[in-house]
Amino acid sequence: MREARFDPVESDRKQVSRFSLWSSIILMAAILAVAGIVSALTAMRFAIRGREVAIPPLAGKTADEAKEILSHSGLLLKVSTSRFSSKVPEGHILDQIPPSGSRLKINRTVKVLLSLGERRFPVPNLVGTSLRAAQLTLSQRKLALGKALYAHTSEGEPSTVVYQAPKPGTQEGSDPS
């Protein structure tokens, strides 16, 4: 029978071999973990972000035109509020949120501010009042006095309104210019 001899070199090789095997396993597990994390983050980014489209400009369009334009992009329209405007005709869009050019996921809503047109006020009857009283009345009703013409008459007090245009009861805008 042969005696088993202890060989220190052989023992070191086995330990190095075991160390290499474990380090290789740990390295592969780390690489797989990093790859899994990167894949998960990329997938979440695409899932969260979804398909986005550019928002078209809607200012100056009617609500029906804007709804049609947005439907081609897969977006929805909501009239959030309305406001008077002397610059934009009634029923046309003044502003939008989010603004045109920005990006939004499909099936999301674009809110718009719709114009009510120019604000109009009924013209009061000023005939028979003094010029100063007429100015105050118009100012209180957010109307402006146009050109005042003076005429000498035998009736009434001086500086009394004897004629007015436009006629009482008609509708006028607050910005006569």
Q: CA 101, 106, 108: angle at the middle one, nearest 5?
A: 85
Q: Which of 14-18, 34-38, 145-149 has the highest mean pLDDT?
A: 34-38
Name the token pair of 12.
């070191």
Q: Is the pLDDT of residue 45 over 80?
A: no
Quick one: pLDDT at residue 77? Answer: 96
The position carrying tokens 């934009």 is 88
pTM (2 d.p.): 0.55
119 — pLDDT class (breaks 50, 70, 90): confident
Domain positions in the chain are 17-45, 52-115, 119-177
Domain 52-115: assigned CATH number:
3.30.10.20
